[in-house]
């Protein structure tokens, strides 16, 4: 395959991966939550988009107006119900790993009970169509997904940089204690941040519904991949999540082309292993000082 063609496919998929990873890295940056349930939240949103498409004929992109607000509210509910009970624990980050792991198992069981383990996906016309540019082809589904991801990520950056709540989120990311001293309502801002992270998972789920097939247990594959992306970019760094997603998606596309698709997932795990050995803080993460 033409090298330019591989690059195009990798960049388009990387744009979608960046959206998926952004919510996960936002939660870690603001609240030090290692959210192992992020993948299953994406799958929930994918099911919502799927049934909106099959039952009501609503396009996956239009379903964003449903999945994002509904997942935001669900995220606020989950944070208030579970995470506020442990936010004063000395081992808060470690506790979030156990809590979100258990939450992912519970939700996976419920999804499996109600929807079984059948592979599903939406099939809008553009999902299998392409634009032809000379000898190159640009899949419409991936292109639209990458553009939607770009719009949402730009919106997220604008929100963080131009709004009072966004400034508060950035202040908590930099120094939680100092932000609280100067009057930031940490619990309120953390609740909003968790909701935003889940809204981004909702958007990713709508795109996931037609770009890939999905079933309840598939969220473990997604969370492993997303953790690789945010560790490479630097935990808590949105810029790192985007750059890491694009780099690994392109690298994975080349590996898939030259070595076969079965080797493609190994790209992410090998990158995770190497980055932890060489630069544990990631490309854009800050090295912790004792």
pLDDT in tens, 116-166: 889 999 999 888 899 988 888 899 999 999 999 999 999 999 998 899 998
Q: Give the model's pLDDT for residue 1.
A: 59
Q: Is residue 237 a part of any domain in this protein?
A: no
Q: What is the pLDDT at residue 290? A: 43
Domain residue limits at 45: 13-218
Q: What sign for the dihedral angle of Cα 38, 39, 41, 46?
A: positive
C-alpha 84 chain-centroid distance: 23
pTM of the model: 0.91
- Does residue 280 fall inside a structural domain? no
The answer as to whether 40 is a domain residue is yes
Structural domains in the chain (count): 1
- Residue 176 belongs to a domain: yes
Whether 289 maps to a domain, the answer reads no
Cβ–Cβ under 8 Å, residues 23 and 154: no
Collapse the DSSP code of 12 into the 3-class scheme (helix H, G, I; strand E, B; otherwise coil) and give the result: helix
> Residue 243: inside a domain, yes or no?
no
Tens of pLDDT, residues 59-116: 999 999 999 999 999 999 999 998 888 877 778 888 999 999 999 999 999 999 999 8
Asked if residues 142 and 16 have their Cβ atoms less than 8 Å apart, the reply is: yes
Q: What is the mean pLDDT of the chain?
A: 89
| Residue range 180-207: mean pLDDT, rounded | 90
Question: Any alpha helices (H) in the chain, and if so which ranges?
Answer: 3-31, 38-56, 64-82, 92-115, 140-162, 164-174, 176-181, 186-211, 219-233, 238-259, 264-278
281 within a domain of the structure (yes/no): no
Question: Could you tell me if residue 90 is inside a domain?
Answer: yes
Report, as an integer, the average pLDDT of 270-277: 85
Which 8-state DSSP code applies to residue 283? S
287 falls in which pLDDT band (50, 70, 90)?
low
């Amino acid at each position: 395959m033409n090298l330019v063609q591989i690059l195009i496919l990798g960049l388009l998929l990387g744009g979608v991966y960046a959206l998926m990873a952004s919510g996960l890295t936002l939660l870690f940056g603001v609240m030090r939550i290692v959210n192992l349930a992020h993948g299953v939240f994406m799958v929930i949103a994918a099911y919502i988009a799927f049934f909106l498409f099959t039952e009501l004929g609503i396009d996956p992109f239009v379903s964003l107006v449903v999945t994002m607000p509904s997942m935001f509210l669900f995220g606020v509910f989950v944070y208030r119900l579970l995470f506020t009970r442990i936010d004063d624990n000395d081992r808060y980050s470690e506790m979030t790993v156990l809590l979100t792991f258990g939450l992912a198992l519970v939700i996976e069981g419920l999804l499996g009970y109600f929807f079984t383990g059948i592979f599903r996906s939406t099939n809008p016309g553009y999902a299998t169509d392409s634009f032809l540019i000379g000898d190159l082809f640009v899949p419409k589904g991936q292109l639209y997904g990458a553009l939607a991801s770009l719009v949402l990520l730009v919106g997220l950056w604008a929100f963080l940089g131009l709004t009072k709540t966004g400034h508060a989120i950035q202040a908590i990311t930099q120094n939680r204690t100092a932000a609280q001293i100067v009057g930031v309502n940490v619990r309120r801002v953390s609740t909003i941040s968790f909701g935003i992270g889940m809204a981004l998972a909702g958007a990713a789920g709508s795109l996931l519904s037609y770009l890939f097939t999905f079933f309840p247990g598939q969220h473990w594959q997604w969370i492993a991949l997303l953790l690789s992306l945010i560790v490479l970019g630097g935990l808590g760094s949105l810029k790192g999540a985007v750059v890491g997603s694009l780099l690994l998606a392109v690298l994975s596309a080349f590996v898939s082309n030259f070595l076969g698709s079965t080797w493609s997932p190994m790209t992410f795990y090998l990158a995770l292993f190497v980055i932890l050995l060489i630069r544990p803080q990631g490309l854009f993460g800050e090295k912790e000082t004792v």
